[in-house]
Amino acid sequence: MNRLILRTLLSHWRSRPFQIVTLLLGLTVATALWSGVQAINAEARASYAQAAATLGTDRFDSLQPRGAETFDQEAYIALRRAGWDVSPVVEGSLRLGGERYRVLGIDPVTAPASLPARPDLQGADLTDFLGPTGLILISASTTLPPDVDLPPVRVVEGIAPGTLVMDIGLAQTLLTMPGQLSRLILLPGVQGAPPIAEASGVVFDRIAPRGDGGGIAALTDSFHLNLTAFGFLAFAVGLFIVYSSIGLAFEQRKPMLRTLRALGVPLRRLMLVMVAELTALALLAGIAGVALGYLIAASLLPDVAATLEGLYGAQVSGSLSLRPAWWATGLLIAMGGAALAAGDTLWRTARMPLLSAAMPEAWHGAQARAQFWQGIAALGCFALALVLCFTASSLTAGFALMGALLIGAALALPVVLATILRIGAARARGPLSQWGWADARQQMSRLSLALMALLLALSANIGVGTMVMSFRDTFTGWLDQRLVAEVYVTASDAEQGRAIHAWATDRVDAVLPIWSAEARLGAVPISIYGVAQHPTYSEHWPLIEALPGAWQSVASGEGALINEQMAARRDLSPGDALILPTPDGTDWPLTITAIYSDYGNPVDQVMVDVGLLATRYPDIERLRFALRTADAPQVIEEARARFGLSSEQVVDQAAIKALSLAIFERTFTVTGALNILTLAVAALALLTAMLTLQLMRLPSLAPLWAMGLTRAALARAELVKVLALALLTAILSIPIGLGVAWVLTNVINVMAFGWRLPMNLYPMDWLRLIGLALLTATVAAGLPVLRLARTAPRTLLGVFASER
Amino acid sequence: MLTVTDLHKSFETAGQPLPVLRGVDLAVTRGECVALTGESGSGKSTLLHLIAALDTFDAGSIRLDGQELAGLNDRARADLRRNRVGVIFQQFNLIPSLSVGDNLAFQARLAGRFDAAWQARLTERLGLGPLTDRWPEQLSGGQQQRVAVGRAIAARPALVLADEPTGNLDEATGGAVMDLLLDLVAETQATLLMVTHSAALAARLNRRVHLSLGQVSAL
Amino acid sequence: MRVLVFLLLLPTLAFAQGFAGLGTATQEGFATPERGATLTFPTDHAAHPDYRIEWWYLTANMTGPDGATYGAQWTLFRSALAPGEGEGWASPQIWMGHAALTTADRHFVAETFARGGIGQAGVTAQPFAAWIDDWQIAGPDLTEVTVRARGDGFAYTLDLATSAPFVAQGDGGYSVKSGAGQASYYYSQPFYDLTGMIEIGGVPTPVTGQAWLDREWSSQPLAETQDGWDWFSIHFESGEKLMAFRLRDNSGAPFHSGTWIDADGTPHPLDGDTLSFTELERAQTSGPQVPIAWRVQIAQRGLDITTRPLNPDAWMDTLFPYWEGPIHVEGSHDGIGYLEMTGYE
């Protein structure tokens, strides 16, 4: 019997192939966008975890020298001989054939056995690894330029992409740091050994392991949350399509269902078979969706990887691996989505009276009831948004605020539209326009889901667009302010740094050292930058908030400037005291005198006097200088010739700006792509809703036709109505979009990056978007309207005779 | 007033033309009330639809007040329906998105012949006064058909075409609706052509035309 | 000599795959032991980087104030990927340390590794120091040293002193390991008197006792067919000492060798034919089943003894695992000592 019922149900699709295509397409697209985004996130997170595992920072404490990049390996020997179970690590980057690679030097005999790159102590690898020529271990996804002079390379599993693992001795040679180490891996279980500082004579910061991929994972969390939010939005929009196709199928299969029930099929069994049918369809769409999601992810991943590297220095594999867990969740989300979209239909099937009602559907009452509850829910969402607006203190809460705002707006949309349409109908003069308004209102019950999808897509579009463009404008202006020096030089080593400093002092108007130290305040890394006393800073540097005489206090050694993200994260303001750590373990007390904007930097930053920095942190690298000169091309030419500097080491202002902007643009490529995809899905939702609607529209239209309207006129009226609804939706999406933009710039950005952005308005973009919405509506309504204009009179006449 | 001559119409069914009307001749004079009867499938509804310019025919002629319907385009046929004809179907006559009052006035306003006083009287005559603010879905079947009658008459069409207007109603309700229809047709001096298969109803009209196998036949 | 043979000689077992790839490394350039060479002290106490493998192997039998007995092991192995010493990380030398402390019911083991050339491990002759991390044997010279090691749950500091001479094993320090002629340089100091402190779970206990140091270096692997050995070092109550071993051969008769050491330190190499080793009992350890009770006979010396372990589960769960623990000796001669067994699976 089940088989017979199923065959009967399925026969419906055979006669309406287009309908099943839409249903599957909707679910596929929704699943694809969701799982595509998840795939990207999973890949990135796996890369972080792998990087941390390669470095050993996922499970073990690390010891990093305070205020220095490196330390003498004698300190390592001293710690071992004092009984500390530590293993040395040399890290650095190497440029080979234009690509940057991370070099990781380890000592395989002391490294923890769980370090993925450590060669097996019993394996023949160890002989090669430690042998005179050495051995470089890389992951399968890392490619090296063909003609570089390197020791033999072997591909092993478990190494992060772009990382070259080698013996510590070889790494010291390649990175030109003989006898120096970068950090130590500290293994647990040491008892009774003397304190580390005492035993080694070096002040180390002890950094606890981060199982989830470490600092990079924390830094990039916001980026991934962003992607997730977009994936979810796209998924939700996709579900609207599924909802309308399932709803349509139900409407059309109603007589069939009635007949089946009348023939004695128990309701329970009918429901069971419908659920089975739905499950099968969801599974099918899920598989296709996951596959499509894989393609989407694969095509977006290179951009994501570039973004993450540009923004956070995080290495992410540019190629996608298939994870079974991801397939499974993709299928589950497809099924869940289908269940969500079909819930209403199944409910209506369960409650469907056995005999058809002679009356047409009581739409007025139903609409009023639905709108009442939607209105209540919308108010609830808005209330929640309002509360979150004032209380949101985490990124998740920020996204919840945005979610509440968007969902509230979507729920309120039908209520608002109905009100506008009622007012319109009341003011309408002619019978046709009166009918148009009234009919649009009735039609909206069915279209509202698609319109909600459109509203969501448009609002997100406006919101994200406003945020990105505000950011770009702010960023460009800020770069102009901040990059004032004409030439930026990086020396190859300390000696060359001194030589360049001496030469430039005579050659240019001003030499401004850019020296910095990495330190930790609390457990969080900070950068301490030294600045010279010069109008370049005091006159141009973009300050957000400052005490009077901020720059003088820096020059006098009492004051420090901090970046906005540091102020936000640590709740600091001008006038607060700041105590910086120093390599010798003493405190360095300062007063915060100003806060400056520092877009695009994920790390907390402090600016102090450069002389003082060099005194407190004697081991900092003194390699970078900004030069002020009216004669930049000549100075660049001379610097290159005199010191043999590469084009990367001597850069003019324009090149730095271009680079910064390029990184910026890449950062939002993915956002832009997802934005467009979401809008496309919304268009698809509108199309399917229109097609669904068309079949239900004939009873409303046939009397008009009988009373003397041509089919063409009816089609035109239909088009105008849909366009009007789309236009209203688009107009309503502007304030919602601006709300979203405000949340993004003033809540989410602050939580995620620590900087607040001024929000600019871009009305031309709104017009463009309204145009886009109308185009979307035209495309979506086009086919159904054309079909209406060509409906045979007999079909229309059928309305008056047929049962509905 | 209405002259139908040698009218032919077939429908495509499974690729085969199925002749429905096979040379129908009919003449109706102004003010006349004619019943159109016949078996199911005899073509009586099709004939009515063709006269209402709802569909096109294959051959023959329909002249309405001297105007030939053959060869009219979509727009001209729509004009004709709007201005000269009032149609009442068995069911689903009303526009669900408009209130009863708006439904009643709709065709008159569409045709540009809205007359508030007449409209008020009509509403009164139909007993729909208290119902004008309701939605069609809230009315009973008899009430809905009364609205349909009122709407068809409101524009004072020359020709009222009714396709089993009481077919879906019980005898008493149907009788009441029929009384109203005949009264109003008489009052507006309209011509009525009504499809029915009720001999009793047919007997109430001036004349009865019987259709059999697509042709007018004697009873 | 002891586990060390492991490193040195065993071709088919763990070491064959090779601590530091030993089994596969070519032997080219390594020096080989030669009969007739003379041992020179203190120079030969230090490392011989031209030889592939070398160790400083100390075992101690100790007694606490309550009469409880203990065993301690301190071993430093050196293994070379290539002959000679290099600068810094370029050194081809790799060091491995094993430390153990055995009681009647516990057996603590620790293991550590180090690269040569950077100072994390090494040996100097005068003053003497052998160290890896914070483990060490050090003193003015090798006749008076302090031994320290520490691991999970245990630690010890032992002072050793002796006035006895170093004892050359085999033919004046040239010790043959197979019928095919594989050999090593091998000398011992079995006469240390010991006082010190052991610590178990943070609880210190003073101890006294005797200790035995073996020094051995070579470059030659065992014969292909030799798959393990049983090795005894015994302090008799008479003050005499015995070193005796059996190298098991899967293709025929085992290879036996030993040295009888008079109480004044005079060594008497034993003819292999006069030695007899009989397994009396096997027991399950935390590793495999191993023989834990033995009968050892030397007809020529009128010796017929039975050995039993202080703790049958003295399994060394290290990168290359083996059994090593203190034993009691009864029979024609009474005494204490150490037993090492390898190659059991």
What are the domain boundaries of chain C?
3-21+31-342
Among residues of chain A, what percentage have pLDDT more than 90?
9
Rg (CA), chain B: 17
8-state DSSP, A625 = E
Choose between A211 and A326: higher pLDDT. Answer: A326
> What's the CA angle centered on C124, arms C120 and C128, to 5 degrees?
115
pLDDT in tens, A389-417: 888 777 778 878 888 888 899 889 988 98
Residue C324: predicted pLDDT: 95
Least confident of A339-343, A634-638, A753-757: A753-757
pLDDT in tens, B143-162: 998 999 998 898 889 999 99
Which run of H or E residues covers position C308? Answer: strand C303-309
- On the question of pLDDT at A216 being above 80, the answer is no
- On the question of pLDDT at C259 being above 90, the answer is yes
Residue C293: predicted pLDDT: 95
Residue with tokens 């969706």: A289
CA distances in angstroms from A207 to A57, A519, A521, listed in the order given: 9, 11, 12
Q: Contact, A29 vs A238, CB < 8 A?
A: yes
User: Which residue in B49, B77, B92 is closest to A799 by CB distance?
Assistant: B92
Beta strands in A600-716 (DSSP E): 604-609, 624-628, 650-652
pLDDT in tens, A479-521: 787 777 888 888 888 888 899 989 988 888 888 888 888 888 8
- At A661, list the tokens: 């902007």
Which run of H or E residues covers position A247? Answer: helix A215-262
Confidence of residue C9 (pLDDT cuts 50, 70, 90): very low
Residue with tokens 């899905």: A681
> What's the CA angle centered on A693, arms A690 and A698, to 5 degrees?
125
Distance CA B40, CA C41 (A): 130
- At C203, list the tokens: 């609880």
- At A352, list the tokens: 């469907």
Taking an 8 Å Cβ-Cβ cutoff, which residues of chain B contact chain A? Answer: 11, 49, 52, 54-56, 74-75, 77-83, 85, 87, 89-98, 102, 105-107, 109-111, 135-138, 141, 151, 163, 168
pLDDT in tens, A488-497: 888 888 888 8
Q: With contacts defined as CB-CB under 8 Å, which chain A residues touch C203?
A: none
CB contact under 8 Å between A793 and B83, yes or no, is no
Least confident of A297-306, A692-701, A782-791: A692-701
Instruction: Tell me the β-bridge partners of A625.
Output: A489, A513
- What phi and psi, each to the nearest 5 degrees, are found at residue B11? -110, 150
8-state DSSP, C330 = E
Residue A360: predicted pLDDT: 46
Q: Contact, B127 vs B155, CB < 8 A?
A: no
SS3 content of chain C, % helix, strand, coil (to 5): 10, 55, 35
Q: Contact, A88 vs A171, CB < 8 A?
A: no
pLDDT in tens, B92-129: 778 888 889 888 888 888 888 888 899 999 899 888 88
> What's the CA angle centered on C313, arms C307 and C317, to 5 degrees?
125
Let me know if B200 is exposed, middle or buried by CB neighbors in 10 A (0-12, 13-18, 19+). Answer: exposed
CB contact under 8 Å between A708 and B75, yes or no, is no
Least confident of A648-662, C277-291, C329-343: A648-662
Confidence of residue A804 (pLDDT cuts 50, 70, 90): very low
- On the question of pLDDT at A595 being above 60, the answer is yes
- On the question of pLDDT at A624 being above 70, the answer is yes
Residue B102: predicted pLDDT: 87
The residue among A432, A717, A713 whose CA lies nearest residue B109 is A432
Confidence of residue A117 (pLDDT cuts 50, 70, 90): low
Burial string for A169-197 (b: 16+ CB within 10 Å, else e) reads: bbbbbbbebeebbbbbbbbeebeebeebe
pLDDT in tens, A355-366: 654 444 566 677
pLDDT in tens, C86-144: 889 999 899 999 999 999 999 999 999 999 999 999 999 989 999 999 999 999 999 99
pLDDT in tens, A367-385: 778 888 888 999 999 999 8
Residues 6+ away with beta carbon under 8 Å from A143: none
Q: Contact, B136 vs B147, CB < 8 A?
A: yes
Confidence of residue C4 (pLDDT cuts 50, 70, 90): very low
Let me know if C218 is exposed, middle or buried by CB neighbors in 10 A (0-12, 13-18, 19+). Answer: buried
The residue among A286, A288, A293, A287 whose CA lies nearest residue A338 is A286
Distance CA A225, CA A395 (A): 8
Mutate to test the interface with C, among A73, A77, A81 (most CBs of C within 10 A): A81
CB contact under 8 Å between B163 and A362, yes or no, is no
- On the question of pLDDT at A445 being above 70, the answer is yes
Give how far the C-alpha of residue A758 lies from the chain's centroid of Cα atoms, to the nearest Å.
Answer: 21
pLDDT in tens, C296-334: 999 889 999 999 999 999 999 988 889 999 999 999 999
Which run of H or E residues covers position A460? Answer: helix A431-482
- At B124, list the tokens: 């009164």
Q: Contact, C344 vs C289, CB < 8 A?
A: yes
The DSSP secondary structure of C115-141, one letter per residue, reads ETTSSSEEEETTTEEEEETTEEEEEEE
Confidence of residue C15 (pLDDT cuts 50, 70, 90): very low
Confidence of residue A172 (pLDDT cuts 50, 70, 90): very high
- On the question of pLDDT at A267 being above 60, the answer is yes
Report, as an integer, the average pLDDT of A137-147.
82
Its pTM stands at 0.64
What type of residue sits at position C131? W
CA distances in angstroms from A363 to A103, A216, A704, B143, listed in the order given: 69, 55, 19, 18
Confidence of residue C3 (pLDDT cuts 50, 70, 90): very low
Residue A383: predicted pLDDT: 92
Choose between A222 and A230: higher pLDDT. Answer: A230
Among residues of chain B, what percentage have pLDDT more than 90?
21
- On the question of pLDDT at C27 being above 60, the answer is no
Residue A803: predicted pLDDT: 45
User: Which residue in C90, C115, C319 is closest to A107 by CB distance?
Assistant: C115
Confidence of residue A28 (pLDDT cuts 50, 70, 90): confident
Residue with tokens 């470095």: A55
Choose between A584 and B3: higher pLDDT. Answer: B3
Confidence of residue C13 (pLDDT cuts 50, 70, 90): very low
Alpha helices in A392-430 (DSSP H): 395-427
Residue with tokens 């292909």: C224
Residue A218: predicted pLDDT: 57
Q: Which chains touch C (3 or more CB pairs under 8 A)?
A: A
What are the domain boundaries of chain A?
1-55+228-357, 60-207, 487-629
Confidence of residue A272 (pLDDT cuts 50, 70, 90): confident
Please give, rounded to a whole number of angstroms, the shortest distance from the CA of B110 to a CA of chain A. Answer: 6
- Average pLDDT over all residues of chain A: 81
Mutate to test the interface with C, among A73, A130, A175, A180 (most CBs of C within 10 A): A130
Q: Contact, A245 vs A26, CB < 8 A?
A: yes
Residue B162: predicted pLDDT: 92
Confidence of residue C40 (pLDDT cuts 50, 70, 90): very high
CB contact under 8 Å between B80 and A708, yes or no, is yes
CB contact under 8 Å between A80 and C133, yes or no, is yes
Q: With contacts defined as CB-CB under 8 Å, which chain B residues touch A364?
A: 135, 137-138
Is C3-21+31-342 CATH 2.40.370.10? Answer: yes
What type of residue sits at position C252? G
Distance CA A58, CA A564 (A): 29
End-to-end CA distance of chain B: 24
Residue A277: predicted pLDDT: 87
Confidence of residue C28 (pLDDT cuts 50, 70, 90): low
Residue with tokens 């229309």: A796
